[in-house]
Amino acid sequence: MLTRHNYKIKEMLLWTRRETLVFVVLATTVCSLYVLAGFSFLRVPWAPVAVIGTAVAFIISFQNNAAYGRIWEARKIWGGIINVSRSFAMQTVDMISNAHAAEPASAEELQEIRRTIIYRHIGWLTALRHAMRQTRSWEVLQHNRTNQEWIKELHILEKIFTVEDELLHYLSDTEWHVVTERSNKQSAILFLQSHHLRELKERGLIWEFAFLEMENTLKELFDLQGKTERIKNFPYPRQYSTLSHWFVWIFVGLLPLAVIPEFAMVGEQLAESTPQLKYYFVWASIPFCVLISWIFHTMERIGRSGENPFEGSMNDVPISTISRGIEIDLRELLGEEKDLIPKPLPEVYNVQM
Q: Dump pLDDT digits (tens) for 172-194.
A: 999 999 999 999 999 999 999 99
Q: Is 204 left (phi over 0), alpha (psi -120 to 50) or beta?
A: left
Integer Cα distance of 52 and 249 in angstroms: 11
- pLDDT score of 72: 93
> Could you tell me the pTM of the whole model?
0.86
| Residue 5 pLDDT > 60 | no
Residue 281 carries which DSSP code? G
- pLDDT score of 346: 85
**What letter represents residue 152's amino acid?**
K
Confidence of residue 8 (pLDDT cuts 50, 70, 90): low
Per-residue pLDDT tens over the stretch 75-133: 999 999 999 999 999 999 999 999 988 899 999 999 999 999 999 999 999 999 999 99
Using CB atoms within 10 A of its CB, is residue 25 exposed (0-12), middle (13-18) or buried (19+)? exposed
* Mean pLDDT (the chain, rounded): 89
Per-residue pLDDT tens over the stretch 254-301: 999 999 998 888 887 877 777 766 678 889 999 999 999 999 999 988
For 154, phi and psi rounded to 5 degrees?
A: -75, -20
The residue-averaged pLDDT of 149-159 equals: 77
CB of 11 closer than 8 Å to CB of 349: yes
Percent of the chain exceeding pLDDT 90 equals 61
The residue-averaged pLDDT of 312-318 equals: 81
- pLDDT score of 2: 37
Integer Cα distance of 15 and 342 in angstroms: 31
- pLDDT score of 6: 52
Share in percent of the chain as helix, strand, coil (round to 5): 75, 0, 25
- Alpha helix positions (H), 105-172: 107-133, 145-154, 157-160, 163-167
CB of 301 closer than 8 Å to CB of 31: no
Integer Cα distance of 140 and 147 in angstroms: 10
- Which residues is 206 bridged to in the sheet? 96
- Residue 78's SS3 state is helix
| Residue 3 pLDDT > 50 | no
